[in-house]
Amino acid sequence: QETINQYLDRFHAGFRITGTKSTYIGGAPSSVYQIVINDVPVDLGNADSPVSEPTFRNTLSAGDRSTLALAFFLARLQREARLEQMTVILDDPFTSLDSFRRSQTVSELIRMGLNSGQIVILSHDSRFLYDIWRKAAPADRKAIWLPRVGEDNTAIREWDIEKWVQDRYRQHID
């Protein structure tokens, strides 16, 4: 909970989690917690919770939910004893984030890359990937592209991300 809240603070989330408890409902390990927004605790709720009752579903925006999920993920990785031996793969880790949270996500991923064996970031957003590219040390980065080849195949190719972003910029100006 403390580590997750540290990440939420870094993302300027405006909320935190509290009251974290472990449960074993149905024999499977799980966690229960509350979200605190403006010093008001909000329960997670479930599919049967009335729409009129404040719950996780109706109080957090899509960006807030993405931020919370990323904070959970990063906090879990931070506690991983073998992180420096692991390859971490992320697929579009910034969905629905505002510009500050997007920038902070770049910084956190760079930090995670320095602490892990390898980090692979997949995205359809070339500007986001370029932001990471610019902040990563040249010796620590590699850009690849996965273009379709025919109907059923994909190739793996080196990608000149700087040329790509520059060409896209020129296309937008034109």
Q: In the predicted model, is pLDDT for residue 69 greater than 80?
A: yes
Dist CA 117 CA 127 (whole Å) = 25
Q: What letter does residue 86 receive in the DSSP assignment?
A: P
Encode pLDDT of 81-123 as tens digits: 899 999 999 888 776 678 888 888 899 999 888 889 999 999 8
What's the mean pLDDT in 71-87?
Answer: 91
Computed over every residue of the chain, the mean pLDDT equals: 87
pLDDT band at 44; cut points 50, 70, 90: confident
Residue scoring higher pLDDT (96 or 69): 69
**Closest by alpha carbon to 94, among 60, 129, 138, 142?**
129
Q: In the predicted model, is pLDDT for residue 9 greater than 80?
A: yes
Dist CA 158 CA 65 (whole Å) = 34
What's the mean pLDDT in 57-76?
Answer: 88
